[in-house]
Amino acid sequence: MFRSRLLAPGPVETAPEVGLALAGPQLHHRSPEARAIVKRVRELLAAAYGLPPSAGWEVLVLTASGTGAMEAAIASLVPAGLEVVTLSAGKFGERWRDMALALGLRVHHRGFGWGSAVPPEAVGELLRAHPEAQALVVTHSETSTGTLHDLESIAAEARAANPEALLVVDAVTSLGVSELRPLEWGLDAVVSGSQKGVGGPPGLGFVALSPRAVARLESRAVTGPYYLDLRRELKAQRGGETAYTPAINLVASLLPGLEKLEAAGLEATWREKKALTEAVTAAGLALGCRAYSSRPSPACATLVPPAPATGRDVVKALLNRGARAQDGQDAIKDTIVRLSFMGHFDRYDALAVAGLLEEALEDCGVRVERGAGVAAAWAVLGAARPQPVAARR
């Protein structure tokens, strides 16, 4: 057995310190040690969201996947029977539409083609057409297509069209990966998960809530979800507790990734993740692939390989050479290959993956010019060349 690089867009490669944190003596969640960990994780998560303490936001940690955290946000903020606007251009956007329908909301949905980005002006149109909508639900980084939505413009359109509607955002693969400014952009509930940009194992979801989302929560007194009720979590987590028994090992294991993010700085991390993903994309293009998305996300390089290779062939070839990438979902299962650097990777890993991709495409019968992929990746990485860390200290 060789070591298999985990290049899927989550779960991601984790730092060795994460394993140590997971395997420590079993903590009891009602102990001072555990309370200190929950508090520190909430503080570091707020920093990862770019939220200073003075902003008055609350970041909640839930024992649930990102999907559970999205449901917590939607169901806790919008009572059943009321209206929401949802937009999609991929699987996750469609999931939020389906979820809102399952929760008994009146859903106004508009879908765009997979691989395209939701045009911000469509958001304004839809919100003006449905002035009773309580919330807009959008995906920032659409992981199924590797598309980064223009959330800043979408939020601005939404605010102009209906200042009262809450902005509920799926930032599962954008937190700690691409520019995300909940405060400056006027977002209200920003959801993410542990196994993506913060570099932890899967099993935890996060919801960052604006002061007006908190006020909306606290004024609600209706039936709804129980386990995923953010009102109970808010009350408990403000006191350093959680409403129910949390996956405390997983919470503790977030510290190494969050501390690394804090030390590196958000903007530098966004630049680095973008450079790594662009480098591997450049390698793919130089080797005959085309980019699937019209507006690529730094969460994953999303490539359509040249004939005769399919996405699934390339995934298999990569696996045979020591890397687990991911194919597509649903209708594009066989069309694309997705390669992500959200986890514990540096720029030299991107070079390594360019080499892997070059040889995997060759294995699939693609005629490649030896070295073209590696050279293209290295050119991108060279352009983004940061100072050595030691020189910065």
Residue numbers of the site for a copy of itself (CB under 8 A)? 3-4, 6, 8, 10-14, 18-20, 22-31, 63-68, 71, 80, 98-99, 101-104, 193, 195, 201-204, 223-229, 244-250, 324, 326, 343
Residue 87 or 251: which CB sits closer to a copy of itself?
Answer: 251
Residue 162 or 173: which CB sits closer to a copy of itself?
Answer: 173
Query: Euclidean distance between the first and final Cα of the chain, in Å?
Result: 39
The rounded distance, in Å, linking the Cα atoms of 171 and 177 is 10
Residue 13 or 272: which CB sits closer to a copy of itself?
Answer: 13
CB–CB of 127/108 below 8 Å?
A: no
DSSP state of 304: E
Nearest distance from C-beta of residue 256 to a copy of itself, angstroms: 12
Two tokens, residue 183: 């405060």
Nearest distance from C-beta of residue 224 to a copy of itself, angstroms: 7
DSSP state of 292: S
**Residue 180 main-chain phi, psi, to 5 deg:** -150, 115
Site of tokens 């200073």: 52
Nearest distance from C-beta of residue 277 to a copy of itself, angstroms: 19
The rounded distance, in Å, linking the Cα atoms of 69 and 191 is 6
Residue 154 or 243: which CB sits closer to a copy of itself?
Answer: 243
Nearest distance from C-beta of residue 19 to a copy of itself, angstroms: 3
The rounded distance, in Å, linking the Cα atoms of 48 and 42 is 10
Rg (CA), the chain: 21
Distance of CA 323 to the CA centre of its chain: 21
Residue 19 or 211: which CB sits closer to a copy of itself?
Answer: 19
Residue 153 or 329: which CB sits closer to a copy of itself?
Answer: 329
Nearest distance from C-beta of residue 316 to a copy of itself, angstroms: 12
Residue 271 or 324: which CB sits closer to a copy of itself?
Answer: 324
DSSP state of 296: B
Nearest distance from C-beta of residue 67 to a copy of itself, angstroms: 4
Residue 149 contacts by C-beta under 8 Å, 6 or more apart in sequence? 89, 117, 118, 138, 139, 140, 141, 142, 295
Residue 15 or 384: which CB sits closer to a copy of itself?
Answer: 15
Nearest distance from C-beta of residue 33 to a copy of itself, angstroms: 9
Nearest CA to 94 out of 43, 42, 139 is that of 139
Q: Strands 166-170 and 135-139, how do they pair? A: parallel
Residue 45 or 275: which CB sits closer to a copy of itself?
Answer: 45
CB–CB of 299/146 below 8 Å?
A: yes
Write out the H or E segment, with its range, that includes residue 218: helix 211-219
Residue 120 or 224: which CB sits closer to a copy of itself?
Answer: 224
The rounded distance, in Å, linking the Cα atoms of 139 and 283 is 27
Q: Strands 189-193 and 166-170, how do they pair? A: parallel
Nearest distance from C-beta of residue 387 to a copy of itself, angstroms: 30
The phi-psi region of residue 349 (left if phi > 0; otherwise alpha if psi is between -120 and 50; otherwise beta) is alpha
Nearest distance from C-beta of residue 79 to a copy of itself, angstroms: 11
Nearest distance from C-beta of residue 94 to a copy of itself, angstroms: 13
